[in-house]
Amino acid sequence: MKKGRVFSGARPTGRQHLGNYLGAIKNYVALQENYDCVYCVVDLHALTTLADTEHLRTWTYEMVLDWLAAGIDPECGTIVFVQSHVPQVTELHTILSMVTPLGKLTRLPTFKEKVRQQPDNVNYGLVGYPVLMAADITLYKADVVPVGVDQASHLEFTREIVRTFNHHFGPVLVEPQAKYTEVPKVLGIDGINKMSKSLNNHVELASEPEELYARVRMMVTDPQRQRRTDPGRPEVCNVFSLHNVFTPQETVGQIEADCRTAGIGCVECKKMLAENLVVHLAPFRERRSQLATDPDYVWDVLRDGAERAKTIARQVIAEVQTAVGLP
């Protein structure tokens, strides 16, 4: 007997990076053991920025291939689908928008950030982004939502909408809990910003070993450590934080001590990290290229996923329609 339902979504950004993996996908995979899981490619959300829409199809393919290679398993019941293939979400979005105060949307830090990024395209869809996200989650009555910590305000917002909706119309929707990994925010190779494809500070999971070495070599370490003989501060070093994830614990202790006494330099430290990354990701790359030998597989998974998602969506939207009193 499963403990409940998990839902998560991600914009079709193509090949996934270490941030996506450590912040979200790791939990997508782990939660499959005890929950019914639903994972969604949120293509409508991607339209809010109106950039790169010509890539939506390839990037959907590349992203889902990464998910499957990382261990998301439709054969065990997990539903993987594309948001726009289950149009009930747009109806729920409209209904939820009626219980959403506009001021709350425009005050969200994520909205303000988008306005800074695209001041010439502050469209209606962009303001409603979190309402569509709330519709995604509540259409499947999800109990748990694995996401990176950058989504915390969106999750809190969804919980508020659910409370307001249920207060007005009765206990129909489920209030979801966010679920974070031990590394809920991964920094990019610049060591400052969140790892993200749009900042080109990312490391792709599917990288070939040479590419992994090259990207790790570019990583910014402790800025105060300028000469090889300067002692380092592992607690402020992004390379060290990744050693914590990819390097065996005994070795991590040694690296920490050697960094503090300048016993090891950054170049060597990065080389060790890259080696460990290559080893860690080898089974992933192997599985990815195996799955890619059948170019239809991803689309078959998504077609089947949409059918199964619709079965749930139709039922919940019917409950919602009745609750709000639509004739």
Footprint on this chain of ligand TRP (rule: CB under 6 A) = 7-11, 42, 45, 133, 136-137, 145, 147, 151, 154
Q: How many residues does the chain have?
A: 327
Q: Which amino acid is at 13?
A: T
Q: What is d(CA 194, CA 152) in angstroms, rounded to the nearest whole number?
A: 14
Shortest distance (Å) from residue 226 CB to ligand TRP: 36
Q: Do residues 232 and 198 touch, judged by C-beta distance below 8 A?
A: no
The option from ligand TRP, ligand AMP, none interacting with 135 (CB < 5 to 8 A, set by class) reads none
The residue range among 15-23, 102-110, 264-272, 274-282 that interacts with ligand AMP, by the rule CB under 6 A, is 15-23
Residue 80, H or E segment: strand 79-82
Distance of CA 286 to the CA centre of its chain: 22
- Tell me if 186 contacts ligand AMP by CB under 6 A: yes
- Tell me if 10 contacts ligand AMP by CB under 6 A: yes
- Tell me if 130 contacts ligand AMP by CB under 6 A: no
In the complex with ligand AMP, the residue whose CB is nearer, 148 or 176, is: 148
Which residues, including other chains, have CB under 8 Å from residue 74's CB and lie 6 or more apart? Answer: 68, 80, 301, 304, 305
Q: What is d(CA 11, CA 93) in angstroms, rounded to the nearest whole number?
A: 17
The option from ligand TRP, ligand AMP, none interacting with 145 (CB < 5 to 8 A, set by class) reads ligand TRP
CB-neighbour burial class of residue 291 (10 A; exposed 0-12, middle 13-18, buried 19+): middle
- Tell me if 24 contacts ligand AMP by CB under 6 A: yes
The option from ligand AMP, ligand TRP, none interacting with 26 (CB < 5 to 8 A, set by class) reads none
The binding site for ligand AMP (CB under 6 A) comprises 10-11, 13, 19-20, 23-24, 147-148, 150-151, 184-186, 194-196
